[in-house]
C-alpha cells in the first residue's frame, strides 16, 4: 500500500468514525473531568452573558446571572449532556451574584446610578414559578453572596466599588463597604439582615476607610472568609456573632521567569514582586482556604497588584501553599497565554472553587485572561498535584462543583458575537479515562520556564524521523518561529523553538515544508498593504537563505487572504514549491470568488505558474478558503478547505472543515496571464465531526496537516491567541 493509499484510508476512517477520540492516549489516567456539553446562553435562553452560576441541591438545574440583561437565567441539566434553557427572570437591576436555597434563588442586585450613591437589593425568587417573592434594600452595592452549608445564614458582600476615573482611582473614596449577614429564619420578608463588625479590618487595611470587600465564602462552622481585594487583606468572621475571628494582610509574592513586556513576544525572563490582592476565595476545610490572586489596584507609586497565581492560607494567617508563577507557566505550556496582559496582571486568576468527589479533593482555579481552568488534586497531607487543564470559552467567571452528580460547571462572561463565539456554560463530568485536554503542550526550556507558543499554523513532517513534526506561528507574535514537535508523546510536545531571522520585512508564517537538505520552506501571508506574500527558504537554524515573491501584477492585486499552505518536492537546487492561496483574488483573472489559485514555483527556472482550485459554495459558515497544502505522494497533494465559522456542526456556524486530494501535474500549470485550468478535487475526509467531538466549541481555524513517511496523519488548529478567542488548540492524530 503506497503513502497516498495509507493517507486516504486514515482520513476516510476518521470521517466514518466521526471522532478522533478513539485513537488518542494521554498520560493522565483514572477518573478525570471530561467535557460533556457546552450551553450557548444566547441561543438557549436569549441571555447576553452568564457570570455567576449556582446549582440546585439535586444538581439538576443551574441558575446564572446575566448582568447585561438585568436578569437571571435557568438551565435544566437533568441530562448534563443535553442542557436545556428554561427561561429567565428580570430582577430590576444588575445581578452580581446569586445562591440557591432549596426552591428559592437569592440574588444580589446592583441598582446604583453612580459611584457616589451606591445602592442595591436582595431579590428572592421562586425557582419553580419564577415569581419574585421579596425585595430587600441593602443600602449599598452587593457583589458576592454565599450560603452556609446548613442553610442558617447567607452572607452578602457590599462592595461600593471605587470610581477608577476619580482621583486616578486611588482609595479611599466614597462610603465604605460592608458584610451583611442574613438570618434565614421564617419568610423572606421577615429575614433579619445585620452587619458584621469590620472595624478591625478598617484599622489595619491599606485604605481602611474604604474597605471594598470583594468575595465571601462560608465553611461548615459558619465562619465566613472575606477578601478585600484593593486593600490586599483577608478576614474571617463568625456569622453567629458578626465578630471578626482574625484579619491579616495577604502579603506579596516574588515571581520568577515571567513576562512583563507587551512587545508582541512571550519571554519568560523577568523577576517581579507583587501584592496578592485576591478576588475569589473558597474554603478547603474548616481551617484553610484558597484565594485567586487577580489584582485590581495600582497604588500611588504606580505599582499594580496581582500575583498571577493562587494561595492557600490557614485562617490564622499562615501560608500553606503558594503557586507563584507555576500556574501561569502551566497555562502557557498549553498555548493559553495572553501576551496583551503581560505588562498588567498576566493570566489574572479570578475564580477559585473547591470540591470533593468520591473521596478525592479538587481545587479549581480559573484564569480570566487565559480562558482555562487548572484542576488540582489535594492529598490528605495537603500536597497539590496539577491534574488537568480545562478549556472554557472566553473569560471564565463562575465556577460550581456539583459533588452529588460528579459534575463541574464553568460559565464565561464574554463573547465574540460576530465570530460566532458565545458566552457559554461548560459542563464537565468526572469519568474514568484520560484527560481530553491539552492535546499539545511545550516542555520547559533551560531556565525552567515553558517554551512559549500560541497560534500554531502550518504543519509538516520531518523527512526522516517519523515522530518529528514542525509547525510555524503566524502574525499573532511579532516575530516568526519554527516549532519542533515530538508527535509520539501523549499529549504531543513542543520541544524546541527556532526564531526566523534575516527576513527583509515582517512575517505572517502560515505554511511550512521540510526540504531534503534539512532546510525549511515557509509561506508568509501578505496583508494587501505593506506585507507581501512571500516564500522563504531558511536553514535549520532559522536564518533566511532566500526570499521569493509573486509576479508584480499578482501581488499588486492581492487581498489579505494570501499564502497559506506550502509543499516542496524535488532535490536541492531543483525544488518545485507549491503554495495555496487562501481565497480568490479579484482583478487577477480569477473566475469568481468560488475559485482560488494554487501556485507552482520552479526554483531552477525561477518561474511561476498556476491552476485554479474550485471552492465549495459559501453558506452559514461564512467565506470558504484553503488553509493547508501537503504533499502526499507523486503528483498528489492534500489541502484543508474550511469556512470561517466557529462552533459545532449542529449549530448555524461552522459547516466545512474538510480535507481534499488534488492531482497537481506539471502540464496543468500555466502562467497567470493565460487561461488557467481548474483541477479536480476528491474529498478524503470531513473533519468537522472529529473537531466537534474533541473540543468545547469547534475552532474556526483548522490550519495544519502533516503526513509522515509511514502515512500517519496529524492535524492542528490555530487558537488565534486568547484575547478575542477561546484559545483552545487541537492537535489530533488521525491515524
User: Which pLDDT tens digit goes with each residue over 94-123?
Assistant: 999 999 999 999 999 999 999 999 999 999
Q: CA–CA separation, 378 vs 321, rounded Å?
A: 11
User: How does DSSP classify residue 264?
Assistant: S
Neighbouring residues of 322: CB distance < 8 A, sequence distance ≥ 6: 253, 309, 311, 312
| Residues 559-573 pLDDT 10s | 889 999 999 999 999
Q: CA–CA separation, 242 vs 153, rounded Å?
A: 11
Phi, psi of 8, rounded to the nearest 5 degrees: -60, -40
Question: Can you tell me the mean pLDDT for 228-234?
Answer: 97
Per residue in 533-566, is it b (16+ CB within 10 Å) or e — as a string? bbbbbbeeebebeebbebeeebbeebbebbbbbb
Contact by Cβ (8 Å): 374, 327: yes
| Residues 500-559 pLDDT 10s | 999 999 999 999 999 999 999 999 999 988 899 999 999 999 999 999 999 998 888 888
Contact by Cβ (8 Å): 482, 512: yes
| DSSP per-residue string spanning 635-687 | TEEEEEEEES--S-TTSSS---EEEEEEE--GGG-B-TTSPPPBPPEEEEEE-
Look at residue 397 and give its three-state secondary structure: strand
pLDDT band at 206 (very low <50, low <70, confident <90, very high): confident
Q: What is the pLDDT of residue 34?
A: 96
Neighbouring residues of 448: CB distance < 8 A, sequence distance ≥ 6: 257
Neighbouring residues of 479: CB distance < 8 A, sequence distance ≥ 6: 264, 265, 499, 500, 507
Neighbouring residues of 203: CB distance < 8 A, sequence distance ≥ 6: none
Q: What is the pLDDT of residue 175?
A: 84
Question: How big is the chain by its Cα radius of gyration, in Å?
Answer: 28
CA distances from 567 to 233, 371, 550, 576, 578 (A): 58, 34, 16, 8, 5
- Spacing of C-alpha 95 from chain mean position: 25
Q: What is the pLDDT of residue 528?
A: 83
Question: Can you tell me the mean pLDDT for 82-86?
Answer: 98
**Total length of the chain:** 735
Q: What is the pLDDT of residue 651?
A: 53
Q: Residue 436, Cβ neighbours under 10 Å: how many?
A: 23
Nearest to 82 by CA among 142, 38, 134: 38
Torsion over CA: 612, 625, 710, 471 (sign): positive
Phi, psi of 700, rounded to the nearest 5 degrees: -70, -45
Q: CA–CA separation, 702 vs 689, rounded Å?
A: 13
Q: What is the pLDDT of residue 620?
A: 75
Q: CA–CA separation, 347 vs 328, rounded Å?
A: 6
Q: CA–CA separation, 154 vs 147, rounded Å?
A: 5
Q: Which domains does the chain have, with CATH numbers?
A: 3-22+441-733 (2.115.10)
128 or 650: which carries more pLDDT confidence? 128
* Angle formed at CA 494 by CA 712 and CA 709, multiple of 5 degrees: 20
| DSSP per-residue string spanning 452-521 | P---EEEEEE-SS-TTEEEEEE-TTSSS-EEEEEETTSSSEEEEEEEE-B--SS---EEEEEE-TTS-EE
| Residues 636-646 pLDDT 10s | 999 999 999 99
Q: CA–CA separation, 324 vs 276, rounded Å?
A: 10
Contact by Cβ (8 Å): 508, 527: yes
The helix or strand, by DSSP H or E, that contains position 525, with its residue range, turns out to be: none
Q: Residue 711, Cβ neighbours under 10 Å: how many?
A: 20
Asked whether the predicted pLDDT for residue 275 surpasses 80, the reply is: yes
Pairing of strands 440-442, 492-499: parallel
CA distances from 614 to 181, 480, 599 (A): 67, 30, 14
| Residues 428-474 pLDDT 10s | 999 998 889 999 999 999 999 999 999 999 999 999 999 999 999 99
Phi, psi of 101, rounded to the nearest 5 degrees: -115, 95
Question: Can you tell me the mean pLDDT for 676-698?
Answer: 94
Edge-to-edge strand order for the sheet containing 319-322?
Answer: 281-283, 288-292, 310-314, 319-322
Return the bridge partners of 462, or none.
Answer: none
Q: What is the pLDDT of residue 450?
A: 98
Question: Can you tell me the mean pLDDT for 124-133?
Answer: 98
Asked whether the predicted pLDDT for residue 293 surpasses 90, the reply is: yes
pLDDT band at 30 (very low <50, low <70, confident <90, very high): confident
Share above pLDDT 70 across residues of the chain, in percent, rounded to a whole number? 95
- How high does pLDDT run on average in the chain? 93
Phi, psi of 57, rounded to the nearest 5 degrees: -60, -35
Amino acid at each position: 500500500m503506497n503513502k497516498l493509499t495509507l493517507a486516504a484510508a486514515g482520513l476516510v476512517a476518521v470521517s466514518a468514525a466521526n471522532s478522533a477520540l478513539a485513537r488518542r492516549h494521554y498520560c493522565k489516567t483514572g477518573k478525570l473531568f471530561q467535557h460533556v456539553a457546552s450551553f450557548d446562553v444566547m441561543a438557549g435562553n436569549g441571555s447576553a452573558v452568564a457570570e455567576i452560576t449556582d446549582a440546585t441541591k439535586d444538581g439538576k438545574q443551574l441558575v446564572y446571572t446575566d448582568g447585561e440583561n438585568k436578569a437571571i437565567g435557568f438551565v435544566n441539566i437533568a441530562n448534563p449532556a443535553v442542557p436545556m434553557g428554561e427561561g429567565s427572570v428580570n430582577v430590576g437591576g444588575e445581578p452580581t451574584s446569586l445562591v440557591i436555597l432549596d426552591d428559592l434563588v437569592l440574588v444580589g442586585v446592583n441598582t446604583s446610578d453612580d459611584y457616589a450613591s451606591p445602592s442595591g437589593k436582595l431579590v428572592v425568587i421562586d425557582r419553580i414559578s419564577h415569581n419574585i417573592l421579596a425585595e430587600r434594600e441593602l443600602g449599598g452595592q452587593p457583589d458576592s453572596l454565599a450560603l452556609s452549608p446548613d442553610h442558617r445564614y447567607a452572607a452578602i458582600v457590599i462592595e461600593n466599588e471605587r470610581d477608577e476615573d476619580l482621583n486616578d482611582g486611588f482609595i479611599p473614596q466614597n462610603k465604605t463597604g460592608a458584610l451583611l449577614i442574613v438570618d434565614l429564619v421564617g419568610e423572606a420578608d421577615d429575614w433579619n439582615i445585620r452587619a458584621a463588625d469590620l472595624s478591625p479590618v478598617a484599622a489595619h487595611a491599606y485604605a481602611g476607610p474604604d474597605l471594598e470587600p470583594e468575595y465571601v465564602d462560608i465553611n461548615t462552622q459558619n465562619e465566613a472568609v472575606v477578601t478585600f481585594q484593593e486593600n490586599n487583606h483577608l478576614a474571617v468572621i463568625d456569622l453567629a456573632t458578626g465578630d471578626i475571628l482574625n484579619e491579616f494582610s495577604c502579603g506579596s509574592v516574588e515571581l520568577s521567569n515571567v513576562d512583563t513586556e507587551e512587545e508582541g513576544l512571550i519571554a519568560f525572563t523577568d523577576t517581579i514582586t507583587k501584592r496578592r490582592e485576591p478576588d475569589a476565595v473558597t474554603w478547603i476545610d474548616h481551617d484553610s482556604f484558597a484565594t485567586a490572586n487577580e489584582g485590581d489596584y495600582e497604588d500611588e507609586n504606580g505599582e499594580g497588584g496581582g500575583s498571577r497565581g493562587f494561595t492557600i492560607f490557614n485562617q490564622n494567617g499562615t501560608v500553606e501553599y503558594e503557586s507563584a508563577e507555576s500556574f501561569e507557566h502551566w497555562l502557557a505550556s498549553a498555548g493559553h497565554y495572553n501576551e496583551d496582559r503581560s505588562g498588567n496582571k498576566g493570566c489574572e486568576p479570578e475564580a477559585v472553587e473547591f470540591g470533593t468527589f468520591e473521596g478525592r479533593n479538587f481545587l479549581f482555579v480559573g484564569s480570566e485572561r487565559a480562558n482555562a481552568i487548572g484542576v488540582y488534586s489535594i492529598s490528605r497531607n495537603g500536597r497539590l498535584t496539577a491534574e488537568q487543564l480545562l478549556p472554557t470559552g472566553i473569560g471564565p467567571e463562575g465556577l460550581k462543583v456539583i459533588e452529588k452528580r460528579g459534575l463541574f460547571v464553568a460559565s464565561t462572561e464574554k463573547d465574540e458575537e460576530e465570530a460566532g463565539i458565545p458566552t457559554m456554560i461548560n459542563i464537565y463530568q468526572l469519568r474514568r479515562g484520560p484527560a481530553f485536554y491539552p492535546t499539545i503542550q511545550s516542555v520547559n526550556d533551560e531556565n525552567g520556564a515553558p517554551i512559549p507558543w500560541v497560534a500554531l499554523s502550518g504543519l509538516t513532517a520531518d523527512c526522516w524521523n517519523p515522530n518529528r513534526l514542525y509547525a510555524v506561528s503566524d502574525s499573532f507574535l511579532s516575530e516568526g518561529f519554527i516549532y519542533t514537535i515530538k508527535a509520539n508523546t501523549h499529549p504531543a510536545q513542543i520541544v524546541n523553538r527556532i526564531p526566523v531571522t534575516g527576513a527583509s520585512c515582517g512575517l505572517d508564517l502560515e505554511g511550512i515544508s521540510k526540504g531534503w537538505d534539512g532546510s525549511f520552506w515557509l509561506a508568509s501571508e501578505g496583508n494587501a498593504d505593506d506585507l507581501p506574500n512571500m516564500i522563504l527558504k531558511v536553514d535549520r537554524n532559522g536564518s533566511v537563505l532566500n526570499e521569493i515573491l509573486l509576479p508584480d501584477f499578482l501581488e499588486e492585486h492581492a487581498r489579505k487572504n494570501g499564502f497559506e499552505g506550502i509543499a516542496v518536492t524535488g532535490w536541492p537546487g531543483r525544488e518545485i514549491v507549491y503554495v495555496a492561496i487562501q481565497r480568490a483574488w479579484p482583478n487577477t483573472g480569477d473566475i469568481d470568488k468560488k475559485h482560488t489559485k494554487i501556485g507552482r514555483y520552479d526554483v531552477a527556472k525561477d518561474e511561476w505558474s498556476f491552476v485554479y482550485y474550485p471552492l465549495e459554495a459559501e453558506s452559514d459558515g461564512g467565506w470558504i478558503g484553503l488553509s493547508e497544502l501537503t504533499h502526499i505522494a507523486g503528483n498528489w497533494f492534500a489541502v484543508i478547505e474550511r469556512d470561517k465559522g466557529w462552533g459545532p456542526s449542529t449549530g448555524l456556524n461552522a459547516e466545512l472543515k474538510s480535507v481534499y486530494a488534488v492531482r497537481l501535474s506539471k502540464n496543468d500549470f500555466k502562467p497567470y496571464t493565460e487561461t488557467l485550468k481548474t483541477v479536480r478535487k476528491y474529498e478524503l475526509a470531513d473533519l468537522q465531526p472529529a473537531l466537534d467531538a474533541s473540543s468545547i466549541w469547534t475552532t474556526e481555524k483548522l490550519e495544519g496537516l502533516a503526513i509522515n513517511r509511514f502515512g500517519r496523519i496529524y492535524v492542528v488548529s490555530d487558537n488565534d491567541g486568547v484575547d478575542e478567542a477561546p484559545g483552545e488548540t487541537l492537535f489530533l492524530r488521525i491515524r
